[in-house]
């Protein structure tokens, strides 16, 4: 049996209708280098989506690989209750200096969803222990995505992933998110004063007393199609949360580590959340690891004699895994030794200009939007009305298949095509990716 057939005999792939694989069998990848993946037949694919947004500094990055190899021969794992190790300690010290000021207490998990679960439980217990036990609910934005486990799905609001499971989920308070492309107030992203924030104000007026925390993806609602909203919205939300004693949880799982042009998206708004969730880029995409980081104030509410029952009795087997910490330390080392953010910014400017040139006039390209190196193209039925295509036409998916044939991994979000490449991508590679995208769009939608 060929490997492809064996794969289909055994493997249930994530986020897939497996019947699609009848006509698009899995690519069996043999190796990766930089922005490229190579399959077992020697075909090359440019990984313009960073292998689900986690591959931050290229495949087989020499600095990360080397540091992890050294760690492998020293300590692979150790129980993290009552035990610790130098890598974890050093990682937290370095991150405390990079994170928005005040985030100094680190709790380790092993994937993004788990870090969200941890944040929700932490917020709930905090409110309970400081004498606000009535604050038991959570607020979130529509079009938000925070992962696939029950708590994370409960604060997720994309019907595609969450609707069917509603009976299993918590009853959360949903606030209509900013929609800058189809702004109901007729404003534009760059010049508005976030009139849409009135929706948040109304929800807080009604529900803040019963709300433990509000969770948001700062500035970029990734899974909903790289929807971008202004920093001012986040500034206003920080103020409102503080006033109403609702904790602010920033889910920076997708936006952290330079993806939006700054180390963390919260920096654009100059705010510190009460809790931040990190994963994906944290280990450069080498190993599953995540962090839920909070403030001294929140940490203190759990600090008491054991018999008071205030401890946070939350754990994962692989908390603080030394191999993951070694990868994460290597990522920070690369940021120190190389001008990653500066070069990514120069390439982002190049990419914005080239995308505008290549797709700006296409009748089915509604909006081209970007933040940092992340660039998205929203396809529409007609540019003038901004009307979407019938989702059953699967335009984005059709283009994805054409792009794959051309050697580009352009996995879409519905009808939104996007680039979210490793920050180390070269401008020549971006140029090539644009040409491939242009050809793939042409094959499905015409010139």
Residue 294, interface with ligand PLP (CB under 6 A)?
no
Give the one residue of 145, 204, 257, 359 binding ligand PLP; rule: CB under 6 A.
145
Binding mask 205-244 for ligand PLP (x = CB under 6 A): ------------x----xx---------------------
Question: What is the DSSP code string of 196-250?
Answer: THHHHHHHHHHHGGGEEEEEE-SSEE-TTTSEE--HHHHHHHHHHHHHTT-EEEE
Candidates 34, 87, 100, 147: give the one binding ligand PLP (CB under 6 A): 147
- 297 to 316, contacts with ligand PLP by CB under 6 A? none
Nearer to ligand PLP among residue 279 and residue 295 (C-beta) = 279
CB of 225 to ligand PLP, least distance (A): 12
Smaller CB separation from ligand PLP, 325 or 380: 325
43-51, 106-114, 309-317, 425-433 -> range binding ligand PLP (CB under 6 A): 106-114
Q: 38-57 mask for ligand PLP (x: CB under 6 A)?
A: --------------------
Rounded to a whole number of angstroms, the minimum distance from the CB of residue 330 to ligand PLP is 19
Contact 114, 291 (CB under 8 A): no
Q: Verify binding: residue 251, ligand PLP, rule CB under 6 A.
A: yes
| Contact (CB, 8 A) for 236 and 198 | no
Give long-range contacts, CB 8 A cutoff, 24+ apart: 364-371: 364/395, 364/441, 364/445, 366/181, 367/181, 369/180, 369/181, 369/189, 369/226, 369/228, 370/228, 371/219, 371/220, 371/228, 371/260, 371/261, 371/265
Instruction: For 150-174, give the secondary structure using H, E and C.
Output: HHHHHCCCCHHHHHHHHHHCCCCEE
Is 122 a residue that touches ligand PLP (CB under 6 A)? no
**DSSP-based three-state secondary structure for 137:** strand
Decide: is 279 part of the binding site for ligand PLP (CB under 6 A). Answer: yes
From 25-33, 251-259, 371-379, 413-421, give the range in contact with ligand PLP by CB under 6 A.
251-259
- Residue 223 Cβ vs ligand PLP, minimum distance, rounded to whole Å: 6
We find the least distance from the C-beta atom of residue 152 to ligand PLP, in angstroms, to be 6
Give dist(CA 388, CA 118) in Å, integer: 36
Nearest 5 degrees, angle CA 387-CA 390-CA 394?
A: 120
Consecutive H or E run containing 103 = strand 103-109
Binding site for ligand PLP (CB under 6 A): 111-113, 116, 145-147, 217, 222-223, 251, 253-254, 279
């Amino acid at each position: 049996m060929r490997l492809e057939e064996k794969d289909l005999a055994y493997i249930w792939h994530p986020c897939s209708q497996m019947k699609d694989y009848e006509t698009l069998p899995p690519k069996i990848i043999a190796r990766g280098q930089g922005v490229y993946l190579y399959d077992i037949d020697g075909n090359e694919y440019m990984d313009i989506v960073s292998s689900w947004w986690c591959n931050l500094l290229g495949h087989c990055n020499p600095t990360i690989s080397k540091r992890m190899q050294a760690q492998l021969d020293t300590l692979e794992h150790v129980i993290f209750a009552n035990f610790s190790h130098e890598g974890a300690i050093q990682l937290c010290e370095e991150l405390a200096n990079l994170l928005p000021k005040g985030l100094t207490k680190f709790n380790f998990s092993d994937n993004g969803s788990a870090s969200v679960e941890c944040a929700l439980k932490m917020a709930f217990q905090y409110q309970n222990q400081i004498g606000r036990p009535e604050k038991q609910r959570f607020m979130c934005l529509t079009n938000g995505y925070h992962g696939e486990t029950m708590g994370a799905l409960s604060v997720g609001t994309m019907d595609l992933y969450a609707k069917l499971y509603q009976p299993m989920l918590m009853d959360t308070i949903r606030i209509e998110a900013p929609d800058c492309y189809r702004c109901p107030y007729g404003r534009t992203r760059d010049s508005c004063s976030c009139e849409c924030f009135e929706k948040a104000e109304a929800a807080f007026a009604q529900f803040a007393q019963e709300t433990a925390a509000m969770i948001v993806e700062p500035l970029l609602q990734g899974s909903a199609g790289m929807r971008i909203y202004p920093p001012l919205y986040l500034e206003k939300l920080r103020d409102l949360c503080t006033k109403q004693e609702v904790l602010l949880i920033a889910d920076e799982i997708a936006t952290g580590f330079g993806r939006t042009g700054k180390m963390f998206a919260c920096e654009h708004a100059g705010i510190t959340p009460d809790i931040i969730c990190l994963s994906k880029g944290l280990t450069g995409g080498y190993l599953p690891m995540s962090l839920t980081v909070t403030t001294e104030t929140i940490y203190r509410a759990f600090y008491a004699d054991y018999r008071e029952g205030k401890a946070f009795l939350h754990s994962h087997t692989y908390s603080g895994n030394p191999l993951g910490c070694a990868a994460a330390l290597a990522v920070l080392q690369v940021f120190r030794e190389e001008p990653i953010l500066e070069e990514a910014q120069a390439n982002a400017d190049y990419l914005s200009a080239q995308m505008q040139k290549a797709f700006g006039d296409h009748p089915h390209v509604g909006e081209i939007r970007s933040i940092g190196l992340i660039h998205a193209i929203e396809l529409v039925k007609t540019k003038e009305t901004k009307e979407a295509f019938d989702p059953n036409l699967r335009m984005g998916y059709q283009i994805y298949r054409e792009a794959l044939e051309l050697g580009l991994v352009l996995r879409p979000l519905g009808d939104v095509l996007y680039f979210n490449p490793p920050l180390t991508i070269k401008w020549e590679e971006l140029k090539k990716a644009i040409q491939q995208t242009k050809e793939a769009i042409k094959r499905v939608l015409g010139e």
